[in-house]
Amino acid sequence: MARQGSTPHVPVLYQEVLSALQPTSQGQYIDGTVGAGGHAHGILETSSPSGQLIAIDRDSEALALARDKLSVFGERVHIVHGSYRSMDTYAQELGWDGVDGILLDLGLSSMHVDQADRGFSFLRDGPLDMRFDLEEGLTAADLVNTLPEWELADILYRYGEERRSRAIARAIVHRRPMETTQDLVAAVISVLGPQKRGIHPATRTFQALRIAVNDELVTLEEALQRGLDLLRPGGRMAVISFHSLEDRLVKHHFRRESRDCICPPEQPVCTCGHTAMLNVLTRKPVMASEEEILANPRARSAKLRVAERLPVA
């Protein structure tokens, strides 16, 4: 059930995703970040009457919403509480020898931001949690209250691209223990000052800690490779990212796997033995239209990249 007062999740780049995946009635698909089920509903509807979908999410609350929304498709949908880094395992458990399409809609949904007790929002006071899966792992509070100053600074710089990472880490350590999101916001503002214009001063710090708590970049890197191995020839992978670190990782992975040789440019003779496995369909990422951005501001930073599995040589 959605919590009272929460904003329904609006699937970003909805039509663009369906156009990219081109679901068919005999297809088998994976939505690795199903959320409330918006994109998944479209994939199942378009692939009627026989297309199937594995719907994966680490968030049990989101899965409850997805299960309710997708129940109309009966046995065509397979709900899984877990990480998309294990999508190959879930497919094998169903006896699937491959899939025809994979969708990864990365980052936060509006549901996460709207629920203060999840700890994702710097605009709402709540416990410093930030876990996608509430049943496992360290919280953001665990990190800010136990890590040495240098390690906190490294997280803020690497995952948040925060230029004042050392000063913010020093302020966090000085103000320990921290229990709430507003404790952390106060530490950041003590260094950067209050918001004047543009993005909130705590944006990068919250992003960095969320990525660290959920091991997002390592998970994405593993999933991209496992997804590639799982795709059938002609199958497509569509990835929506919301910040530069994710988008860069997806772009580089697609580019590398679309080349026969990945040796360093200065090397005169190829020794890698690498064979191209993908055809990149989006040389530049697909962005939301102005109309979609007006209706759903979250879409402003969304970037969709799509690649297709090449025939096996």
Please determine, for residue 294, whether its predicted confidence score (pLDDT) is greater than 90. Answer: yes
Residue type, 54: I
pLDDT in tens, 227-273: 999 999 999 999 999 999 999 999 999 999 999 888 888 888 888 87
Share of the chain above pLDDT 70, in %: 96
**Tens of pLDDT along 3-23?**
333 445 579 999 999 999 999
Which domains occur in the chain, in start order? 14-111+216-309 (3.40.50.150), 119-214 (1.10.150.170)
pLDDT tens sequence across 188-229:
999 999 877 778 999 999 999 999 999 999 999 999 999 999
Quick one: pLDDT at residue 9? 59
Give the separation between CA 207 and CA 29, rounded to whole angstroms: 29
Q: Which residues pair with 102 in a beta bridge?
A: 30, 237
Q: How far apart are CA 53 and CA 18, in angstroms?
A: 14
pLDDT mean over 46-62: 95
- Closest C-alpha among 267, 161, 262 to residue 208: 161
What's the pLDDT at 5? 37
Mean pLDDT of the chain: 92
pLDDT tier, 313 (very low <50, low <70, confident <90, very high otherwise): low
Global pTM reads 0.91
Inter-residue contact 207 to 160 (CB < 8 Å): yes
DSSP string, 30-88: EETT-TTSHHHHHHHHHTTTT-EEEEEES-HHHHHHHHHHHGGGGGGEEEEES-GGGHH
In which residue are the tokens 């899966």 written? Answer: 133
The answer to whether the beta carbons of residues 137 and 131 sit under 8 Å apart is yes
pLDDT band at 108, cuts 50/70/90? Answer: confident
pLDDT grade, residue 58 (50/70/90)? very high
Residue 96 has pLDDT above 50, yes or no: yes
